[in-house]
Amino acid sequence: MTSTMTGTVDPANAAQAQAWDGAEGEYWAAHAGAFERAVAGYDPPLFAAAAIRPGDHVLDVGCGTGATTREAARRAEPGSATGIDLSGAMIEVAQRAGGANVRYVQGDAQVHPFRTGEFDIVLSRTGAMFFGDPQAAFANLARATRPGGRAVLLVWQGLAHNPWLAEITHALAAGRDLPAPPEGAPGPFGLADPVRIRDLLGGAGYTRVEIADVREPLNFGPDPDTAHAFVAGLLRWMVAELDPSTRARALADLHAMLAAHHTSRGVELDSAAWLVTATTES
């Protein structure tokens, strides 16, 4: 774990901080290009919804290696973009990419002491589903947004609408019954339920909460071998406890599944997200 965290991490986010400011974040940092390629299809709808204008100040929550922060900063010039993330390794990659009107904070967005009304827009690409206390987190983000400002969040829909994860998990299970990440708990499906999204954002003081269904294929790499290396590395813990021959079978099943999804654009699997927009009271 790196030790440049700004401010405290809420105890409710300790496990997330351990993962993201540890091995998980290091893998993301080392494979930033592959992760970028995977979700790139969501950027056009995300940035269209964000409608960033010159002079805006944007906060990117769970900014990771900063591609969306840089894009926000480019659109906001002469304004600025600030990225916040728990992962020291990912923030380091983001910082190396530079940018005059970009700044990064390694910290917990749930409790970070942003200045009140500091931002026009709070943006997040799959970084706002991990809060241990989402009510407190969204209240903190609403406080940091100027009156009449906006939140624009891309969050995953449930597993049933995300065959990419269902198919990968099924392949790596090698006959085991592997539990999926639960809906409504901190993790990829923490905001999968639109009723919960409305309750949380409404409770935090946002109005006009709108939730759009957006679907894009995730691109895991140009060919099955590259996609296999990327996914097997990311989810190595899923097969870590298998005996060598069962592990080999699981990895072969993964390769076969990815090869079955090889298209002229690369290895693509279907995904679905909610694009959430909400306004702070003016």
Ligand X SMILES: C[S@@+](CC[C@H](N)C(=O)[O-])C[C@H]1O[C@@H](n2cnc3c(N)ncnc32)[C@H](O)[C@@H]1O
Structure tokens at 225: 């071998």
Q: For residue 104, list its beta bridge partners.
A: 83
Binding site for ligand X (CB under 6 A): 13, 16, 20, 25, 35, 39, 62-64, 68, 84-87, 90, 108-110, 125-127, 130-131
Taking the complex as a whole, how short is the minimal distance between the CB of residue 49 and ligand X, in angstroms? 15
* Angle CA 266–87–247, to nearest 5: 50
**Cβ-based nearer residue to ligand X, 112 or 228:** 112
**Cβ-based nearer residue to ligand X, 83 or 149:** 83
According to DSSP, residue 86 is labeled S
Q: 105 — phi, psi (to 5°)?
A: -130, 130
How far is residue 78's CA from residue 146's CA, in Å, rounded to a whole number? 18
Helix (H) or strand (E) holding 152, with range, is strand 145-156
Taking the complex as a whole, how short is the minimal distance between the CB of residue 247 and ligand X, in angstroms? 26
Cis peptide before 222 (omega within 30 of 0): no
Alpha helices in 31-66 (DSSP H): 32-39, 43-50
Q: How far is CA 18 from CA 3, 91, 120, in A?
A: 12, 15, 30
Residue (of 241, 222, 248, 228) closest to 168 by Cα position: 228
| Cβ–Cβ under 8 Å, residues 214 and 153 | no
**Cβ-based nearer residue to ligand X, 138 or 174:** 138
**Cβ-based nearer residue to ligand X, 90 or 251:** 90
Taking the complex as a whole, how short is the minimal distance between the CB of residue 249 and ligand X, in angstroms? 29
**Cβ-based nearer residue to ligand X, 98 or 147:** 98
Taking the complex as a whole, how short is the minimal distance between the CB of residue 16 and ligand X, in angstroms? 5
Taking the complex as a whole, how short is the minimal distance between the CB of residue 223 and ligand X, in angstroms? 22
**Cβ-based nearer residue to ligand X, 26 or 193:** 26
Residue nearest to ligand X (CB): 62
Taking the complex as a whole, how short is the minimal distance between the CB of residue 271 and ligand X, in angstroms? 12
